[in-house]
A = this chain, B = another copy of it.
């Protein structure tokens, strides 16, 4: 069994993603190729890093996760293979693997091509062949030198005080839900038997609801999302549109 997942910013109407799939099937015809998304916003490394962190743990052990959001393709950045206990990750060394590097013991290797490749499409010419080969079995000879200091994005951390937590919106999903960097465990530890007030863009939200359905239609509310993060949502609507909030905007939680 060999699962290869693909997460890119190639969009949905060019030949780029298909070319990668063709290359993979040519090397490992039995690979199960999973399209995660090809609609990461163009060149948005932080978005790719966040989305990857949302799905990779749900895949079977030994799955190969390929991420291609790669504005620096052909330049100085490394082509990289990152290996954790359970998974192999392949993509540019530009920060797309930040969440993995922060949370998992891992080793990073430089990936080198043995033949001439394009300077603009390493997804097809380097990452796809490496993914296909490594999905068959781990082979140290495919990868090169160890990369000692892989690129890690500056991921904002929530600031916890005796009065509350200050965090920020780190992702806006398809439903317009505003996902923050405030994990539920921080809220629980500090908020047992306390009542919370959440402030975002001048709007005050009282307490945390258990389900979207508990929130009044059209009114911003707070929930803990399926990744365990504080999320601002609007039932049957878009918190993003309702509040005019953008990625990076602050969220303040106050113990009452």
Contact = CB atoms under 8 A, between A and B. Distances in A.
A255 interface: no
Contacts of A32: 25, 29
Interface in A48-97: 51-60, 63, 71-76
A120 B54 CA distance: 14
Contact of A51 (B5, B14, B43, B52): B14
Contacts of A39: 12-13
Contacts of A74: 210-213
A218 to B, nearest CB: 13
Interface string A202-227: 00000000111110000000011110
A22 interface: yes
B213 A60 contact: no
Contacts of A146: none
Interface residues of A, number: 73
Contacts of A43: 236
A245 to B, nearest CB: 17
A59 B212 contact: no
Interface in A8-47: 9-23, 25-26, 29, 32-43, 47
Given A14-B51, A18-B5, A226 B36 contact: no
A249 interface: no
A225 B14 CA distance: 13
A175 interface: yes
Given A3-B25, A55-B18, A119-B210, A124 B226 contact: yes
17 contacts: A12-B174, A13-B37, A13-B39, A13-B51, A15-B54, A15-B55, A17-B37, A18-B58, A22-B60, A26-B59, A42-B238, A58-B124, A71-B212, A72-B211, A119-B210, A120-B212, A121-B226
Interface of A: 1, 3, 5, 7, 9-23, 25-26, 29, 32-43, 47, 51-60, 63, 71-76, 118-121, 124-125, 173-175, 210-214, 223-226, 235-236, 238
